[in-house]
Structure 1
Amino acid sequence: MMYKPGHITGKFRSKKMCGIDGCQRYHNSLLHNKILSKMPYQTGQRDRSVQPMLNCRLANEPRKQLFKMLPIDIYGPNGKYEILSMFDEGSAITILEEDIARKIGVRGQSHPLTLQWYNDRVVTEQSFKVNVEIGSRFDDKKFTLKDVYTVNHLNLTEQSFTKENFEHFGHVPLQNYSSTKPSLLIGLNQAYLGVTTTWIQGDNDSPIAAKTSLGWVAYGPTKSSTRSSPRVMVIKEQNLHKMVSDYFEADSFGVNPTSEQLESDEDKQARHILETTTILRPNKHYEVGLLWKKFPPQFPSSREMAERRLFSIEKRMHKDEKFAERYKEEMAKYVEKGYARKVTQEEVTESYAQTWYLPHFAVCNPHKPSKLRIVFDAAATANSTSLNASLLKGPEQAQPLMRILLQFRQGRIGVAADI
């Protein structure tokens, strides 16, 4: 006989009573609990595609044990909140109910998380990776939990604990709680919190009290029974839709063109500045903000450098009257069009951390000797700093050379233009 994953004895009825150790259930004696308890649980093929993060299982029979649950304080920007936590060595991650995260005011990066309940349903929800502080109820020690996942409902089992029911816990500082569900599941990534330094044990049918970094916690077998419904949960960080999408993206790599524009962080910053500062003036001209690497910029004094460059230009003007005349004409055009104005005496004497004096010089084209063009030198340096060094280059708008060369295979004639 072969047993498949998920097999349970309740599906196989026998006309003959078991009889082993007084068992009055109607099943074959080969299926008795003592034999089944020795059979290791194995997952089928369907489980292998899931990344198991948590496996918390309860039997559908009266249980006689306490899970490792402990009342603690959790802290956030909105203050302190009292919750019940649970240590689970079967969980690779730490999970917090989203309602608690909202109450203490913590928020983190959105992250997809899939919760699969066996024989029930599969739920994919947006989780948040948060960092929280927790502490013991009996001292002032606090511990920071990093990369904690939030879920809408942790849905762990409800548990009660009364210290007075156990004589060997008489002097142990354990806190009672009644019919409470854990809101925080502490996984293996926070294993140091569950390390036991001292423990107290009664007989083999009594729970153990263990001292951890978060205080004393009671867990293990008890002589009283409680009934709870079975719960099995498996969590994975990647849902099926994304896995299929990633597969096809890898399959078509280098074949299909991508609409996503690959940009560096600096280009993204420059594009954001362009999109947020570009405006159309009433005169139908556009105004664009400068692409500062850091804002506000900090400049050293540059007036002395600019004055030296100005004296050099004036010296040449004294030697060449035609050069001086054309230079003055070009500068007058800047004032006439509103590109430049004369600063006031107060502006000259006032000191600004963002002031930069921009030198300029003339460029003459040998093929157009009568035309003079003024160039503002943003590469001029003062104390090893220049205006260009404080600005981002911005995203590349020109066509890549490789694309231009490949386009010659599409048409016979290449066209170039200049503005």
Structure 2
Amino acid sequence: MGNTSIEHPTTSSVSLLVVNPSLDSLLRQFWEQKEIEISKPVNPDDVFCEEHFLQTHSRDASGRYSVSLPFKKGCTSLGVNRHIAMKSFFNLEKRLHKQPGTEAPYQAFLTEYEDLRHMNVITKPSSYILPHHCVFEQTSSSTKIRVVFNGSALDSKGSSLNERLLPGPKLQNDLSDILISFRVHEVAICADIRMMYRQIMLRVLHQLVTDEGAQYPLASNALIAHSYVDDIVTGAASMKEAEKLKTELINLLSKGGFELRK
């Protein structure tokens, strides 16, 4: 637009110079005016969990992480549940006897637990024992049998381990965001972390990036932005970059005692 004359009904003619702002400027002004700042309330329990993790996590000589469980403040101690755990175990044995071909894989699975030092044999069990059962996954390409520990089982005080623990802040990325960003890559990379839950007492991938990630920028970004629990769904713009990303992921995760598969 150029110069425009505007006639005021009661005054003399006034000439005004009207400048047409650029589209970029208009859009910027629109978003600045429409943007609403939303302050998220801070959950004191989440803050406590973060502080608890920072104060209690440690690493052994192999690089593996451990951290004590985040019990709720003022919660009662665990009660006696030995009879409940033993009943669950005997029921499991009966079920395995009735299902041919399941007992041997279950025994082999627990033997692997012991060989990998993911569990130790004890002669004097404590008053609280975490019950478990097994689940067979015939469609799984990697693990056909899984041991599931039941943290919801009640003890003699009528409460469970899960009820005494704080869940902590949400650490998982939004799954829809991961899948959308996954589609923009020219070369796709998918993997999961082998036996992730047995490598650590709580998930610590963000801490691994903090401790070791400076040397592996591509892998660090993938773990922070493109991982969901133990699955990594990411990619790269070329095969060369994809190979570098894969190598970085393998090396970075190995420093925390993790192994990629699939």
Calculate the TM-score normalised by the size of structure 1.
0.33
Q: How does 1:41-52 map to 2 (within 5 A)?
A: none
* The one of 109, 115, 121 aligned to 1:342: 121
Q: Which amino acid aligns with 1:386?
A: S
Q: Tell me which residue corresponds to 1:23.
A: none
1:271 counterpart SS class: helix
Alignment of 1:284 with 2:66, yes or no, is no
Q: Tell me which residue corresponds to 2:77.
A: 298
* The one of 156, 159, 170 aligned to 1:396: 170
- Measured at CA, do residues 252 and 397 of structure 1 come closer, stay the same or move farther in structure 2, by a change above 3 Å? farther
Q: How does 1:238-387 map to 2 (within 5 A)?
A: 255=36, 262-294=41-73, 297-344=76-123, 347-348=124-125, 355-368=127-140, 371-383=144-156, 384-387=158-161
Q: How does 1:77-116 map to 2 (within 5 A)?
A: none
For residues 212-249 of structure 1, the C-alpha deviation after alignment (integer angstroms, 9 at most, x for no partner) is: xxxxxxxxxxxxxxxxxxxxxxxxxxxxxxxxxxxxxx
Q: Which amino acid aligns with 1:314?
A: E
Q: Which amino acid aligns with 1:281?
A: D
Q: Which amino acid aligns with 1:397?
A: L
Displacement over 4 Å in runs of 4+: 251-258, 414-417
For residues 91-126 of structure 1, the C-alpha deviation after alignment (integer angstroms, 9 at most, x for no partner) is: xxxxxxxxxxxxxxxxxxxxxxxxxxxxxxxxxxxx
2:147 counterpart SS class: strand
Gapped runs of 5+ residues in structure 1?
1-250
Residue 255 of structure 1: how far off its partner (Å): 4.8
Paired with 2:86 and 2:33, the residues of 1 have a C-alpha distance of 60
Q: Which amino acid aligns with 2:71?
A: W
Paired with 2:137 and 2:171, the residues of 1 have a C-alpha distance of 27
Q: Which amino acid aligns with 1:287?
A: S
More helix by share: 2
Aligned-CA RMSD value:
3.5
CA radius of gyration, larger in: 1
Residue 252 of structure 1: how far off its partner (Å): 9.2
Paired with 1:400 and 1:294, the residues of 2 have a C-alpha distance of 29
2:101 counterpart SS class: helix
2:102 counterpart SS class: helix
Paired with 2:72 and 2:34, the residues of 1 have a C-alpha distance of 34
Contact 2:105 2:145 in 1 (8 A): yes
Paired with 1:411 and 1:286, the residues of 2 have a C-alpha distance of 29
Contact 2:75 2:164 in 1 (8 A): no
- Measured at CA, do residues 396 and 307 of structure 1 come closer, stay the same or move farther in structure 2, by a change above 3 Å? same
Residue 283 of structure 1: how far off its partner (Å): 1.7
- Measured at CA, do residues 330 and 252 of structure 1 come closer, stay the same or move farther in structure 2, by a change above 3 Å? farther
Calculate the TM-score normalised by the size of structure 2.
0.50
- Measured at CA, do residues 411 and 313 of structure 1 come closer, stay the same or move farther in structure 2, by a change above 3 Å? closer
Residue 326 of structure 1: how far off its partner (Å): 0.7
- Measured at CA, do residues 371 and 359 of structure 1 come closer, stay the same or move farther in structure 2, by a change above 3 Å? same
For residues 67-107 of structure 1, the C-alpha deviation after alignment (integer angstroms, 9 at most, x for no partner) is: xxxxxxxxxxxxxxxxxxxxxxxxxxxxxxxxxxxxxxxxx
Gapped runs of 5+ residues in structure 2?
1-31, 189-225, 233-262
Q: How does 1:112-151 map to 2 (within 5 A)?
A: none
- Measured at CA, do residues 368 and 377 of structure 1 come closer, stay the same or move farther in structure 2, by a change above 3 Å? same
Residue 386 of structure 1: how far off its partner (Å): 0.9
